[in-house]
Amino acid sequence: MISLRFALPLVVVIATMIPLIISHLILLPRQEQRTDLMAQETLRHEITRLQESVEILVRDTGPEQVRTAFGAVGTLEGLQSALLVDDTGTIVAASALELIGQPWRNGLSSPLVERIESMAPRRGLVLQPLENHTLLGYAPICGWSPDSMREDRCGFLVLHITYRLAWEQATLFYHEQLFAFAAASGVGALLLFAILHFGLTMRLGYLNSVITRFQAGNLWVRPSLSGNDEVAQLSAELSDMLDTVAENDANLRKVIRVIEQSPSAVTIVDAEGRIEYANHAALARYGALSVEVGRQAPLFDYAADDDRVQQALSRALAMGDDWDGELQRRVDKNGEPVWDRVTVHPLRDERGLITNFIISETDVTEFKRASAARTNLERQLRHVQKMETLGRLAGGVAHDFNNILTPISGYAQMVLDSTDPEDKNHRRLERILNGVRRARDLVGQLLVVSRKGEQDLIPVDLAGPVREAVDLMRASATADLRVEFYADPGLWPVLADPSRIHQVVMNLCTNAGQAIGQRSGLISVALENMIHDASNDPPDWQGGAGVSSGAAVLSSGRYVRLTIEDNGPGMSPDIAERIFEPFFTTKKAEGGSGMGLSIVDGIVSQLGGRITVYSEPGLGTAFRIYLPAADTGISSSDPDVTPAPTSPPSLPVGQGECLLLVDDEPENLAALGEYLTNCGYRVKAIADPLIALETVKAAPNDFDLLITDFAMPGLQGDQLALAVKTWRPTMPVVMISGFSSKVTRWNREVFGVDAFVPKPIELPLLRQTLYDLLHPPTAS
């Protein structure tokens, strides 16, 4: 479209030229016509006057008077020629005297002759326009003779005039008027152009430049025209409109930034599901080709994999309702599912008709994983709390039970020692002591479950005790049950008790064999080195019915993984969550005690490890135990472990040494005091450790050895041992306790304890220990 600055002058010029052109096209022909009419009227008047005068002269006078009167015609303006012809065709008078007396045809040009001959038959005045603004007038002249009054005996008068000069003067006058009008119009046009240019065009151009700068991104530019005219009002309204547009643009840009920078993938589709817009997150997630404008939105592709979701989504889209749900979009590079929280919202126009749908997809994979991990941790916490509660109960029962068993074992041993082996009561007493030992083993299991049992840990190559347990399992397995074993070469050592590792493997393999039953089956046992990353916890998660116990979170580092897997019937999730609870069993009919897995759990926890179980009904069960690798090499023995005595031919006897016996339980004090007295020792039995300490302070050299319980009111056994060592550094100290977890190798070394004997006390072991401490071998 042409600019106003060019259109306005053009309009002014056209508006000026149109009247001039109209004037020229209409007025000029009228002026020419008027000039023609005036010339004809003049000729008519002159020829009529001349006709009348000539006819009178012809009748009343002679030819000389006629010529004289005819000569006055020469004063006629624009006369070209004049002829007076008598009835004989002879020129009587003429404007050119040399023509007088000649035939009239000889005095005129052929065109005029032809014109006059065409007029001759007429008997009236005839005027005929000729070219070049000339007129030819013809009038008959009669009365030349008495007999010439007849119509066929008349002469004629011809006047040939030109009015070109008059026409040129009239045209010149017209052009002068036209020029004056044009000049006036031009001045008016210039004034109008100036008024419109400075009052309208320039101001509208200024407003247009403001709009152009605003469109170019200068959102703060505003027009500033003063005045009360329409353009000033337009400027004020434009300023208000630009304020509104700038505010809306700022809000729109903010919305666009929110959408573009949103971590959610946002796409806008039409009613057919074709993409019209996709934000940066959608482009990054699906790629430019997948979210190209006009393509089907990816949501509808992966929603089709789930019939339930597809039906719900289609129903919501058809009804124009919102839809919200979770969809599995794909799997990541590790094969883990990737989940999206999807919201579909219809967009409606002012009539309420749906024009588009906005789809928002938020990756909730990490949230779901964190939620699952939190649920797992909560389950572990509940399990740990339950185990701690049961452990405290088991530990308390074990401690009290050991104290109860100690006098029973002591008195039974004393009676047994004084009974003839052939006596039937001797066999009965042995059975009583065997019952005490079984009770002691049960107490030991309770202490393991409570994580309070004592383990003497040494660097162990797990392949040894595990292979021994596997070989034992193979020997007792049915023919249809295969037990396979694999160990990584160069296994890292683990701080453990080999007997406890053997117990763990036997318990798990026995459970696996019992689960397989009489069917053919496979038990796989494997040992592997592994490096664990604490960010991936629990390690090797496989899904199914899974539960873990032990360390809440394994720290990053080196571990040895023991895997025991079977292809038995598996477990349901509710059973898998309870398998580590003490006394929980699914084999009550077979006489299961429910302690096997609890003991395994306790042993693994004491070693600072973790046990996980994954099971699915019909597919089998896999136990994985993670034990931290030791930083030291493997050693074959531990100097702090008191070896169990072999059955010697005879037990040593005391030589009257004085023993200080301290225990807050009167039954234990009485039984042990009597037994040790029978063994040849002098015994000072004291129930209060504070009194015992004062006794030592008063006479430190009166005692050869201190036997003290650990858990006593007022002063614990380790504190008593430390105080006694202060007064008598060389006095041997033997610690006895029914709560062995309290007596560690560390506090034995720190507090000067030379030997530890757990309750219920094996009296021959105690007897041998005392003798070895009081009579150490001499160096050769």
pLDDT, tens digit (0-9, with 9 covering 90-100), for 729-766? 899 999 988 765 556 565 667 788 889 888 878 888 88
Is it the case that residue 331 has pLDDT exceeding 70?
Answer: no
What does the pLDDT read at residue 217? Answer: 82
CA distances from 12 to 2, 200, 204, 551 (A): 15, 14, 18, 97
CB-based contacts of 602: which residues, under 8 Å, 6+ apart? 391, 448, 449, 450, 451, 453
List, as one string, the DSSP characters of 331-384.
Answer: E-TTS-EEEEEEEEEEEE-TTS-EEEEEEEEEE-HHHHHHHHHHHHHHHHHHHH
Q: With 60 as the cut, is the pLDDT of residue 394 above it?
A: yes
Q: Given this model, what pLDDT does residue 500 score?
A: 86
Q: How confident is the model at residue 642 (pLDDT cuts 50, 70, 90)?
A: very low
Which of 211-220, 308-317, 403-412, 593-602 is most confident? 211-220
Parallel, antiparallel or unpaired: strands 658-662 and 682-686? parallel
Pairwise pLDDT comparison (524 vs 190), residue with the higher score: 524
Per DSSP bridges, beta strands 337-348 and 354-363 are antiparallel
* H/E element, 636: none
Q: How far is CA 736 from CA 399, 416, 445, 573, in A?
A: 12, 22, 19, 43
Q: Is 536 helix (H, G, I), strand (E, B) or coil?
A: coil
Q: Residue 701, Cβ neighbours under 10 Å: how many? A: 10
pLDDT of residue 574: 82
Find residue 546's DSSP bridge partners.
614
User: Which residues touch 505 (CB under 8 Å, ≥6 apart)?
Assistant: 465, 466, 469, 470, 473, 525, 562, 564
Instruction: Give backbone dihedrals phi and psi of 524, rounded to 5 degrees, phi first.
Output: -110, 130
Question: In the prediction, which pLDDT does 370 show?
Answer: 83
Taking CB atoms within 8 Å and a gap of at least 24, the contacts of 338-343 are: 338/363, 338/365, 339/363, 339/364, 339/365, 339/368, 340/265, 340/364, 342/299
* pLDDT in the model for residue 4: 60
Is the Cβ–Cβ distance between 43 and 135 less than 8 Å? yes
Res 180: pLDDT = 82
User: pLDDT higher for 185 or 8?
Assistant: 185
| HEC sequence for 173-205 | HHHHHHHHHHHHHHHHHHHHHHHHHHHHHHHHH
Least confident of 2-6, 192-196, 294-298, 582-586: 2-6
pTM of the model as a whole: 0.42
- HSE-CB for 191 with a 13 A CA cutoff: 6
Residue 605 has pLDDT above 80, yes or no: yes
User: Does the structure show a pLDDT above 90 at 578?
Assistant: no
Tell me what the pLDDT averaged over the chain comes to.
79
Determine the pLDDT at residue 200: 77
Closest CA to 457 of 580, 598, 608: 608
- Provide the phi-psi class of 78: left if phi over 0, else alpha when psi is between -120 and 50, else beta: left
| Closest by Cα among 78, 56, 79, 80 to 66 | 56
Cβ neighbourhood burial of 523 (10 Å; 0-12, 13-18, 19+)? buried
Q: 3-class DSSP state for residue 65?
A: helix
pLDDT band, very low/low/confident/very high, at 323 (cuts 50, 70, 90): confident
pLDDT bracket for residue 145 (50, 70, 90): low
Whose CA is closest to 710, among 673, 746, 759? 759
What's the rounded mean pLDDT across residues 543-560?
A: 65
Q: How high is the pLDDT of residue 1?
A: 57
Query: Alpha-carbon distance 496 to 355, whole Å?
Result: 71
pLDDT digits (tens, 9 = 90+) for 146-205: 544 445 567 888 888 887 777 777 788 877 777 887 788 778 778 877 877 777 778 888
Rg, Å, the chain Cα set? 68
What mean pLDDT comes out for the span 453-459?
Answer: 70
Which has the closest alpha carbon to 271: 312, 306, 310, 300? 300
Q: Give how far Cα 557 sits from Cα of 405, 532, 627, Å.
A: 43, 5, 11
pLDDT at residue number 628: 93
What the block records as the tokens of 167 is: 């026409």
pLDDT at position 359: 85
Asked whether residue 644 carries a pLDDT value surpassing 60, the answer given is no
Residue 330 predicted with pLDDT over 60: yes
